[in-house]
Structure 1
């Protein structure tokens, strides 16, 4: 996809993110810390290919990758292990079947969910890149607390900071970035699966990123 250039769309994206940052609270609850030390499990319907020498696996057909509470679903997935034991996953969907992501947070009953045309996960940096028609939500029980949509969303698991940009691959025809923030009291009441003592903590965004997806080498 084309790399965005300064335009009214990108200006609106920056303004949107600036306004959002001003609304969000400073407190953060991190993603499930225990996931970092869990093994990676992969399954698929149509099998794949394992390259032992290069520590690379390719899977096709309803591929499911899990790592602790993290769950990643895609039609195609390329997973690599680096020499120092970290994993990189490149996942892609198909028309009508986007890549799906979910991971629990260290707040009872809360999780991060997202969909996109492509997804890149890097366990070293603990980041997830949602590329193309990206939608990411913070859910509390069955209720959506926050929602971000754009052409590209980068989620940092460690800090729980989101970077978002608009463009032609945004779910919105105009290419705009869109953020929906539910009132805290409303989201706490709707998310009855979590204890009342754990107040919902909003997400943070940062508008510094590139929209061109990285390609496996």
Structure 2
């Protein structure tokens, strides 16, 4: 496969590795990528997509102003997306709901399988929502860490979590009567 084509595919493969809870069937779907400009540096192994970047693969949709992907000799190393905001949305595997993320910057470390949402970070799953300055998600351990705005004062500096009650099943409602 030509090196230029490999550099184009790097950010696409990174997105396939987003959180483990994502729809597994998406990995088998074609990837559609649009951007105003693409720059490829074959020597440094860096691909940069700029201007209204849109990536769609199955149920996954990623929007950003700029996406930069880096690789090493073993393949994909990391992807950084920036925007106002960067957003992604993807159907969760096995359930009829989506996970959505928003932030000023998203970083994905393919080596460690860690996703970071940085700057006004929000993550929604079902009816639940987490907000903070930074959200870190380890896809291997399914562990989240949320950090507020360091040094800031007031309610906007704190981590916020909204947990909605799960709808009662018809069996639970009948038992209550």
SS in 1 for 2:167: helix
Q: 1:87 offset after TM fit, Å?
A: 4.7
Residue in 2 that maps onto 1:138: 125
Q: Does 1:65 align with 2:47?
A: no
Is the strand fraction higher in 1 or 2?
2
- Structure 2 unmatched ranges of 5 or more: 1-19, 171-177
SS in 1 for 2:75: coil
Residue in 1 that maps onto 2:148: 166
Q: Does 1:78 align with 2:68?
A: yes
Q: 1:39 offset after TM fit, Å?
A: 7.5
Residue in 2 that maps onto 1:20: none
Q: Is the 8 A contact 1:31 1:158 kept in 2?
A: no
Q: Within 2, Cα distance between the matches of 1:87 and 1:123?
A: 5
Higher relative contact order (CA 8 A, sep 6+): 1
Q: Is the 8 A contact 1:132 1:169 kept in 2?
A: no
What does residue range 19-98 of structure 1 map to in structure 2 within 5 Å? 30-34=21-25, 42-45=33-36, 47-66=37-56, 69-93=59-83, 97-98=84-85
SS in 1 for 2:135: strand
Residue in 1 that maps onto 2:173: none
C-alpha distance 80-69 of structure 1, shift in aligned 2 (>3 A) = farther
- Structure 1 unmatched ranges of 5 or more: 1-28, 140-144, 190-217
What TM-score comes out, normalization by structure 2 length? 0.70
Number of residue-to-residue matches in the alignment? 150
SS in 2 for 1:86: strand
Q: Within 2, Cα distance between the matches of 1:52 and 1:124?
A: 20
